[in-house]
A and B are shown apart, each in its own frame.
Chain A
Amino acid sequence: MATTTAAIHAPVQAESGLWSWITTVDHKRIGILYGTTAFVFFLIGGLEATIMRLQLMRPDNTLVSPDFYNELFTMHGTTMIFLAVMPLSASFFNFLIPLMIGARDVAFPRLNAFSYWIFLFGAIFLNLSFFFGGAPDVGWFGYSNLTSKQFSPGHGVDFWAVGLQILGIASLAAGFNFIVTIVNMRAPGMKLMRMPLFVWMTLVTSFLIILAFPVITVALVFLLFDRFTGTNFYVPAAGADPVLWQHLFWLFGHPEVYILILPAMGIISEVLPTFSRKPLFGYPVVVYSGIFIGFMGWGVWSHHMFAVGLGPLADSFFALTTMLIAIPTGVKIFNWLGTIWGGRIEFKTAMLFALGFIAMFTMGGLSGFMHASPPADLQQTDTYFVVAHIHYVLYGGAIMGIFAGIYYWFPKITGRKLGEGLGQLHFWLNFVALNVTFFPMHFVGLLGMPRRIYTYAPHMGFDWMNLLSTAGVFGIIAAVLVFMWNVSRSLRHGEVAGPDPWGGATLEWAIPSPPPAHNFGTIPTVHSLDPLWHREGPELVKTANRIGGPIHMPPGSHWPMASALGITLLLSGMVFGWWLGIPGVLITLYGIYSWAFEPCT
């Protein structure tokens, strides 16, 4: 549709400067943007958690008001799930998937940039609520009819619902993009069963994203209609059933749990073999259990709703499916143990985090298995026992897995290794502190301390355990500070890594660190699962670095950013008013049309 001249003469990529980052379509740069943004929100979410723990440090504390406490736990949960763990995983998808499958970029580079920008704008929009009349205060799951106009008259819920819609667009766009990238952009010879496990888990996660997010989109659309136009979706007086929200939310929410954990499982499945000097034990079985988890994740949602009273038949069904899903998860754990068994183990920081993941995730899995049983769940639901469970799987699991990935791939991203001494300190501080923080919560919960209540009376038997949990938070803060110090020091003075500092087996280690904009000089042909560990390795490295002909890289574009801005303004108009919505519509239309007709991708 366009002339060729524009593409030929367009600069491949402006090398530096703010504008080059705004217009970039390079998956590596977008990965870095995702990672740093998400880390900032990880700190914000951590700050919210710290204030909550300070409030709970002693009984009858009055540090924060009950209202602000409600805002804190809502924003902590929403931030950590949608603005920290998911985008941190997305940053790994972005940086690594094209490198691991031997591609120059993702299938749709501009769509990829769009995902990032709309994620950033949605995240900012959600957090603006603190300054415009109060943050959402209904829990990250926003049960109806607490979210109705009657019980939440302020704008907090509007910010939450609209913010999640905007963030959902980011996830969906990324989901489509990575499915097509993985299915369609693999190097010659890389059959599905030769893909690194991280690629497999990204594929399963992407499918979960594109199928689960429409469901919460619809649930939120209903909520917004109820709040803005007075419809009856969640209004019991009109005959509606508020449990509809719970079904729709958890039908999204449980796959979401696997969206959070599968990428971390993929990361440690790369780290463990490298530092055990052994291929992943039972690779096909790990792949199949990942896929099985992805399928089964759709059949367990009502275990979040045992306390609703769905009846013995539904409860039994969901108890059984929940217990069943523990099997593929257990299979994976045994495969990881099988991988390190008899290996020549190097206890580098990345390896420590990966081993920490196995231990902590197993503990979280065991407590999860306990509330798979409805009678046990009725005792534990809405107590700190559940808080302990989610933090073992999401902090001890997902975040530890992400840290394993950061230590493992930092040299590939920056060209320098993270300091090993500070890394070990980070790991041990983090490992001890997370157990000090979250382990007592099991007991506090079983003793009956409810979640989401801003204080508790003295002499209930859990005063000292709450104090201990709060003390642990300062250990986690110390660990995160050590990590940040390590990053800032290593960026300048870290040991120069070279292309393959760990002796990895997968394609990303065949090319320089940091990789050139075009990744591979010539796309190599792959003959095995661990190409760099095979006889083909040295030849493959040569091919990957040899520029065999002209390389076409897509030029940068600012239309993805403009479109993302337009859509965000358009949707913000629901909260702020038509004066923001109308320009939003115009910018969106202009952005999308300019994008569609921009010369040559």
Chain B
Amino acid sequence: MAVATATVAAHEAHPTSTGLNSRKMLFWAFLGSECMFFGSLIATYLVYRGRDQVGPHPHEILNIPFTSVSAFVLLMSSLTMVLALAAVQHGNVRGTRIWLAATALLGMTFLAGQCYEFTQFYFEGLALQTNLFGTTFFVLTGFHGTHVTVGVIWLWTLFVMAMQGRLPRERALDVEIAGLYWHFVDVVWIAIFTLVYLIQ
């Protein structure tokens, strides 16, 4: 057995068959899997649309102007995510911190909007158990919200690393992968917003 010697980036620097980074490839595969996950949730929502025995129905309760604003907030967080990645890739420590925090805060704003929306619907008579709309709507958007929550925790973790100076340019990939996740969650929201809110 040879003596183990290593450098921090031994694994990263290891040449791969395709030249693509293995962690990034793993993450793309994971996002493929996530497509099937959200695909199944969205398909169920669509299959059950209009089959409710009792109200409230989507058109009575969905507040498009309000959700358009929170959708805009989430889209803007993708922009700040891109800026955070650009900053870390250029070794811009201050920019990295600012844009990571901005992205996380925008994500939290979206989540706050979702909390408000859920409570509002509940007081208007739509609970998880009320009808098929309540069941499929809350589970679909709830899972999306859970994904955003995981992303926010991830972003704050990166932010703390950036504050401690443990996020140098060489680790830009960490931010890039978090960014892939974040953009994916955004794209899923565009699909949900279109199919659930806009096309009723």
Contact of A232 among B4, B36, B40, B135 (CB under 8 A): B135
Assess the B33–A214 pair: CB atoms within 8 A. yes
Closest to B16 in A: A184
Would you give the shortest CB distance from B25 to chain A, in whole angstroms? 5
Assess the A231–B128 pair: CB atoms within 8 A. yes
* A184/B128 contact (C-beta < 8 A), A172-B33, A176-B29, A244-B47 known: no
Contact of B36 among A211, A222, A239 (CB under 8 A): A211
* A217/B44 contact (C-beta < 8 A), A231-B129, A232-B135, A233-B135 known: no
- Chain A to chain B contacts (Cβ below 8 Å), 18 pairs: A1-B161, A8-B5, A11-B4, A107-B22, A179-B25, A179-B26, A210-B29, A213-B33, A215-B36, A219-B40, A231-B135, A233-B136, A238-B131, A239-B131, A239-B132, A241-B47, A248-B40, A248-B44
Assess the B11–A600 pair: CB atoms within 8 A. yes
Bound-state CA distance A547–B1 (Å) is 9
Assess the B17–A180 pair: CB atoms within 8 A. no
Contact of A552 among B5, B25, B34, B129 (CB under 8 A): B5
Contact of A108 among B5, B22, B135, B157 (CB under 8 A): B22
* A214/B4 contact (C-beta < 8 A), A185-B16, A600-B10 known: no
* A225/B139 contact (C-beta < 8 A), A183-B17, A183-B18, A218-B44 known: yes
Closest to B136 in A: A233
Assess the B44–A238 pair: CB atoms within 8 A. no
* Total interface residues in chain A, CB < 8 Å: 59
Residues of A within 8 A of B7 (CB): 4
Lowest 10 A-B CB distances belong to which pairs? A214-B37, A218-B40, A214-B36, A551-B2, A184-B16, A239-B51, A231-B135, A7-B6, A210-B33, A550-B5
Bound-state CA distance A228–B44 (Å) is 19
Flag whether A516 is at the interface (Cβ < 8 A): yes
New A-B contacts (8) at CB < 8 Å, excluding given A238-B52, A239-B52, A551-B2: A7-B4, A177-B26, A230-B129, A232-B135, A238-B132, A244-B48, A552-B5, A600-B10
Would you give the shortest CB distance from B96 to chain A, in whole angstroms? 14
Assess the B6–A211 pair: CB atoms within 8 A. no
Residues of A within 8 A of B36 (CB): 211-212, 214-215
Bound-state CA distance A248–B33 (Å) is 15
Bound-state CA distance A244–B129 (Å) is 18
Residues of B within 8 A of A12 (CB): 1, 4
Would you give the shortest CB distance from A415 to chain B, in whole angstroms? 17
Bound-state CA distance A533–B36 (Å) is 42
Flag whether B171 is at the interface (Cβ < 8 A): yes
Bound-state CA distance A232–B6 (Å) is 55
- Contact residues of A between 157 and 180, Cβ < 8 Å to B: 172, 175-177, 179-180
Flag whether A32 is at the interface (Cβ < 8 A): no
Flag whether B199 is at the interface (Cβ < 8 A): no
Flag whether A323 is at the interface (Cβ < 8 A): no
- Contact residues of A between 14 and 36, Cβ < 8 Å to B: none
Bound-state CA distance A180–B17 (Å) is 10
Bound-state CA distance A457–B4 (Å) is 69
Closest to A192 in B: B17
Can you list, as one digit per residue, whether each of B18-56 has a CB less than 8 Å from chain A (1) or not (0)? 101010011001101110110011001001100111000
Assess the A547–B26 pair: CB atoms within 8 A. no
Assess the B1–A214 pair: CB atoms within 8 A. no
Residue from A1, A108, A219 whose CB has the most chain B CB atoms within 10 Å: A1
Bound-state CA distance A190–B41 (Å) is 40
Assess the B37–A233 pair: CB atoms within 8 A. no
Where the two chains meet, the residues of B that have a C-beta atom closer than 8 Å to any C-beta of A are 1-8, 10-11, 16-18, 20, 22, 25-26, 29-30, 32-34, 36-37, 40-41, 44, 47-48, 51-53, 128-129, 131-132, 134-136, 139, 143, 157, 161, 166, 171
Residues of B within 8 A of A345 (CB): none
Residues of B within 8 A of A231 (CB): 128-129, 134-135, 139
Flag whether A229 is at the interface (Cβ < 8 A): yes
* A222/B29 contact (C-beta < 8 A), A186-B17, A550-B2 known: no
Closest to A231 in B: B135
Flag whether A553 is at the interface (Cβ < 8 A): yes
Assess the A214–B34 pair: CB atoms within 8 A. yes
Residue from B6, B20, B26 whose CB has the most chain A CB atoms within 10 Å: B6
Where the two chains meet, the residues of A that have a C-beta atom closer than 8 Å to any C-beta of B are 1-2, 4, 7-8, 10-12, 107-108, 172, 175-177, 179-180, 183-186, 190, 210-215, 217-219, 221-222, 225, 229-233, 237-241, 244, 248, 251, 516-518, 547, 550-555, 593, 600-601
Residues of B within 8 A of A177 (CB): 26
Would you give the shortest CB distance from A86 to chain B, in whole angstroms? 17
Residues of B within 8 A of A210 (CB): 29-30, 32-33
Contact of B139 among A2, A108, A222 (CB under 8 A): A222
Assess the A1–B171 pair: CB atoms within 8 A. yes
Contact of B4 among A185, A248, A552 (CB under 8 A): A552
Assess the A184–B17 pair: CB atoms within 8 A. yes
Bound-state CA distance A187–B171 (Å) is 27
Assess the A211–B17 pair: CB atoms within 8 A. no
Contact of B1 among A2, A215, A233, A516 (CB under 8 A): A516
Would you give the shortest CB distance from B62 to chain A, in whole angstroms? 19
Assess the A217–B16 pair: CB atoms within 8 A. no
Would you give the shortest CB distance from A206 to chain B, in whole angstroms? 9
Contact of A8 among B4, B22, B52 (CB under 8 A): B4
Bound-state CA distance A225–B36 (Å) is 19
Closest to B20 in A: A184
Residues of B within 8 A of A179 (CB): 25-26, 29
Would you give the shortest CB distance from B167 to chain A, in whole angstroms? 8
Residues of A within 8 A of B139 (CB): 221-222, 225, 231, 233
Would you give the shortest CB distance from A370 to chain B, in whole angstroms? 31
Residues of B within 8 A of A239 (CB): 48, 51-53, 131-132
Bound-state CA distance A78–B22 (Å) is 33
Residue from B3, B7, B11, B166 whose CB has the most chain A CB atoms within 10 Å: B11
Assess the A232–B11 pair: CB atoms within 8 A. no
Bound-state CA distance A4–B1 (Å) is 20
Bound-state CA distance A176–B24 (Å) is 11
Bound-state CA distance A241–B53 (Å) is 13
Residues of B within 8 A of A241 (CB): 47-48, 51
Residues of A within 8 A of B37 (CB): 214-215, 217-218
